[in-house]
Amino acid sequence: MNLRVVGANLVVKLMSFYREKTAMFFTIAFPIILILVFGTIFMSQDNVSFHLFVQDLDQTNSSAQSIKTLELNGKFKITTVDPAINATQYVRDNKVNLVLVIPKGYERSLLQRAMLSDSNASVTITYIYDPSSSSVSMKMQILNSVLAEINQKMSGKHPFIRSAETSILTKKYRFIDFFIPGIIAMAVMTLSLFGTVNLNTELRQKGIIRKLSTTPITRTDWILSDILYQFILAIISTIAMLLVSYAVFNVSLHITVWILAFILLDVFAFVGIGMILTRFAKEAQSAAAAANVISFPMMFLSGSFFPIELMPGFLQTIAKILPLYYVNEGLRASMIFEDNIAALRNSAIIGVFAAIVFILGIVATKWEEDQ
Amino acid sequence: MTKETDCAIEVDKLTKRYVDLLAVDDISFSVIKGEVFALLGPNGAGKTTTVEIIDTIRTPTSGKVTLLGMDVTKKKHDVVRRIGVLPQGFSSFDRITVRETMQYFSRLFGCTSIDIDELIELVNLKDKAKEQYKNLSGGLRQRLGIAIALVNDPEVVFLDEPTTGLDPRARREVWEVLQGLKKKGKTVFLTTHYMDEAELLADTVTIISKGKIIAVGSPGELIENNANYLVLTLQSVDQKASEIVRKMGFEPVLNNHKDITVRVEQTKDVQIILNAIKDAGALYLGLDVRKPNLEEVFLKLTGEALRDGPGGGRGAE
C-alpha cells in the first residue's frame, strides 16, 4: 500500500465529484427523498385512523349511541350511509372496502337484554366487505376487538385477564425511528455498489484503466482509494439523512461512533462486491444490471423497509445470510437499543464478510487487458 | 546483431493467441537505444497487441520480451517506472485540468523532481493548463497524453497510434512534439498506419501484416530494397491514353480524377510512354515522376493497402 498513490486517487475522485454538480446533487438528494417519502408513509401509520362506513337500519337513539362509541375509540372516521340504499351495491359503486350494517331491531334487542335480562337476546352486525382490499382484514380485526370490549362491558363483570405494556426502551419510539437506520444502511449500500460499478466500468471503457496499468499503482491502492472515496460520500449523505430525520420527523436516535463503524463496513463490503462485478461484467450496462440483481433483494429482504419477522420462515433464513441484514441490525442495536454487545456481534459478522469480499475484489480486479 | 547493451527492447519469438485469432505470430526484432522505431501496418495487423505486450498492458502467449535488460512479464513493477506509455485511444478524467492531471500522474510515479510546467510547455499546452480534459480537442488530448507519458522521465516512450483521428494540422503539431523527444535522446516506439508519419519520424521501420513481420529497415532502405521503380503519374488523361499505356504492357491505375499512375522500371520508359501518347494524339494535362513511398512498398509486399486494409482488424488491435 502506498499512501501517496491512494491520496492522489482520492483527490482526483473528490475533485471530479465536486465538479460534477448533478452527481453531487443526487448523491445527497436520493437518500433524502427516500427518507421523506417512506418517513411520511410510516408516520401516518403510527397514528393510523381508518375510514369506516356505517349503515344504521335501526335509526334509534341506541344505535346512534353505538356509532358514537365506535367513533370515540379513536381508530375510526365514520361516514354514515343512507339506510335506504343497498349496502352491497354501495360497496361496489363507491370503492368502499367495508360497510358495517346495524340491523333493524337493534334497540329492541338491547332493551330486552338490559331491562329484561333476557340472555338470549342478541343482534348481528354485518360487515359487507371487499376481500380484495389489503387493509380490510386489519380493519375488521380492530372492529372485532372493539365489539368484544363493548360486549364485555355489557356483561357487567370485570375481565379475568388484563394486559399491561412495558417497553424495553426507555423512550417511546415510533416506527420512523426503526426505519431511519435501515434507510441509512441501504443508501450507503446503493451508493457504494453503484458508485464503484459505474466509476470503474466507465474508466475501463474510456481506457483510463489501461493507462493506469502502465503506472506503479497497485490494485490494493486503487480499491483502497475507492473505499475512502465512497466512505466520504457515505458520511456526507448520512449526515444529510440524519439532519432531515431530526428536522422533519423529530426522531430520537443515539448518535454514537458505531454509526461510523457500520458505514465503513457497509462501504467495504459493497465496494468489494462492486469490484468483483466490474471484473466479470464486460459492458457497463451488464455491470449495472448485475448490481441491481444484488441490491434489490438485499433492499427488501434484509429488513431495511420492514421487519423480517413479517416474512415467511424461509425468507427469514435467507435474510440472515445477507450482509445488509447485519448492518441494519447493528445500526438499530446502536442507534435505538444502545446495545453495544449486539452492535459488536453484528459488526464482527459484517466485518468478516467485508474482509472476504475486499480480498476477492483485489484478486478479481485486473489491470492487464485479456480481450 | 547489436550488442545487448545497445538494445532498448529485444523481442524474441513473440506470439499472442486470442480465442479465435492468432494476433501476433512468432515475431522477433530489436529496438536500439535512442532511435525512433516505427511499427507500421494496417488495422488488425497486430501492432497494438505487440506494443501492449512490450509495455506490460497485455501478457504474451509465448515468447520473451526484454526491455532495458528486464523480462517485461516478470519485472512489470520495475519496467513501468522506466517507460512512458500513450495507449491507443488515450483518455483521461473528464473534469480534471491539464495541470492537475499531470500532477496526478507524477504522484503515481512519486516523481517530485519533475518540472510539470516544462513538460506542459514541451507539448505546447501552456495556454490550456487550467482547462478541464473534457474541453480539449483531439489533438490537445493526444499532446496531454504524450506529456503524461513523459512524467516519470522514462527511457523508452511508447506511442500507440498517436495521430489517428486527428486533422492534418493537429497531426503536424504532434509530429513536432515527437521530433522534440527524439532530440532529447529518448528511445521512441511508435505504431502507426500512416506511412508518411513513419517515413518522416522513424529511424527504423518494421512492417507488420497479419501478425508477421514482413520487412525491416530505415525508410530509405525499405524503398531501395523493395521498390526499385519509378512512379509516373499523368493527370486528366483521356480514354485513349490509358488504352495506349496498357497496350504497351504497363499496368495503369485510373483514379476518380482521371489521373493514371504507372510503375516503370527505368527512366527511359517514361520517355517511351510519353512519346507513344504524343504520337497517338492523346491528351494529358500534367505529369509527375517520383520515387515510390512506403505506401507502395507496403502494397508490393502484402498486396493490401495500408489504411483501408481488409478485415478492418477489430479485436486484436
Same domain, A183 and A288: yes
Residue A166 lies in a domain: no
| pLDDT for B188 | 95
* Range name among A13-22, A188-197, B288-297 with the lowest pLDDT average: B288-297
Residue A160 lies in a domain: no
A208 close to B (CB below 8 A): yes
> Is pLDDT of A156 > 50?
yes
What is the 3-state secondary structure of A51-101?
EEEEEECCCCHHHHHHHHHHHHCCCEEEEEECCCCCHHHHHHHHCCCEEEE
What are A248-264's pLDDT values in tens digits? 888 888 899 999 999 99
A368 close to B (CB below 8 A): yes
What is the Cα–Cα distance from A196 to A284, expressed in whole angstroms? 11
Same domain, A146 and A188: no
Domains and CATH numbers, chain B: 4-224 (3.40.50.300), 228-290 (3.30.70.980)
What is the Cα–Cα distance from A360 to A348, expressed in whole angstroms? 18
What is the Cα–Cα distance from B252 to A30, expressed in whole angstroms? 69
What is the Cα–Cα distance from B22 to B16, expressed in whole angstroms? 6
Same domain, A55 and A16: no
Same domain, A317 and A355: yes
* DSSP H helices in A116-256: 136-155, 175-205, 208-212, 219-249
Q: Which long-range contacts (CB under 8 A, 24 or more apart) does B64-72 make?
A: B64/B11, B64/B12, B64/B13, B64/B14, B65/B9, B65/B10, B65/B11, B65/B12, B65/B14, B66/B7, B66/B9, B66/B10, B66/B12, B67/B8, B67/B9, B67/B156, B68/B8, B68/B155, B68/B156, B69/B4
- A98 CB contacts (<8 Å, ≥6 apart)? A52, A53, A91, A127, A128, A129, A130, A133, A136, A139, A140
The alpha carbon of residue B83 is apart from the nearest alpha carbon of chain A, in Å, by: 8
What is the Cα–Cα distance from A366 to A275, expressed in whole angstroms? 10
Tell me the residue range of the domain where A267 lies. Answer: 3-44+171-364
A93 close to B (CB below 8 A): no
Residue A336 lies in a domain: yes
- What's the whole-number mean pLDDT along residues B122-148? 93
Residue A117 lies in a domain: yes
* Range name among A73-77, B143-147, B286-290 with the lowest pLDDT average: A73-77
> Is pLDDT of A49 > 80?
no
The alpha carbon of residue A210 is apart from the nearest alpha carbon of chain B, in Å, by: 7
What is the Cα–Cα distance from B102 to B59, expressed in whole angstroms? 28
| pLDDT for B313 | 34
Q: Strands B62-67, B7-18: parallel, antiparallel or unpaired by DSSP?
A: antiparallel
Same domain, A62 and A202: no
Asked if A214 lies within 8 A of B107 by C-beta distance, the reply is: no
Asked if A369 lies within 8 A of B57 by C-beta distance, the reply is: yes
What is the Cα–Cα distance from A190 to A31, expressed in whole angstroms? 10
Asked if B57 lies within 8 A of A371 by C-beta distance, the reply is: no
Residue A329 lies in a domain: yes
Tell me how many domains chain A contains.
Answer: 2
Count chain A–chain B contacts defined by CB atoms under 8 A: 77
What is the Cα–Cα distance from A284 to A253, expressed in whole angstroms? 39
Last residue of a domain, one of A93, A120, A155: A155
Candidates B134, B120, B124; CA nearest to B92 is: B134
> Which of B83, B110, B315 is facing A214, going by the closest CB pair?
B83
Residue B158 near residue B85 (C-beta atoms within 8 A): yes
Candidates B161, B204, B152; CA nearest to B44 is: B161
Same domain, A335 and A243: yes
| pLDDT for B309 | 37
| pLDDT for A45 | 61
Same domain, A147 and A230: no
Same domain, A128 and A184: no
Last residue of a domain, one of A155, A180, A213: A155
Same domain, A247 and A360: yes
What is the Cα–Cα distance from B41 to B97, expressed in whole angstroms? 34
Give the residue from chain B lying closest to A9, CA to CA: B104
- B4 CB contacts (<8 Å, ≥6 apart)? B10, B69
- A235 CB contacts (<8 Å, ≥6 apart)? A260, A263
CATH value at residue A75: 3.40.1710.10
> Is pLDDT of B97 > 90?
yes
Q: Which residues of B touch A214 (CB under 8 A)?
A: 55-57, 80, 83, 85, 87
Residue A311 lies in a domain: yes
Same domain, A259 and A317: yes
Query: How many Cβ atoms are within 10 Å of A24's Cβ, its own excluded?
Result: 14
Last residue of a domain, one of A155, A187, A209: A155
> Which of A212, A216, A369 is facing B52, going by the closest CB pair?
A369
- What's the whole-number mean pLDDT along residues A354-365? 90
Same domain, A133 and A238: no
At A242, the pLDDT band (50, 70, 90 cuts) reads very high
What are B171-229's pLDDT values in tens digits? 998 899 899 888 888 999 999 988 889 989 999 999 999 999 999 999 888 888 887 78
> Which of B52, B56, B100 is facing A15, going by the closest CB pair?
B100
Asked if B56 lies within 8 A of A368 by C-beta distance, the reply is: yes
Same domain, A249 and A350: yes
Residue A161 lies in a domain: no
Residue A75 lies in a domain: yes
Q: Which residue has the cell 437518500?
A: A31
ipTM exceeding 0.90? no
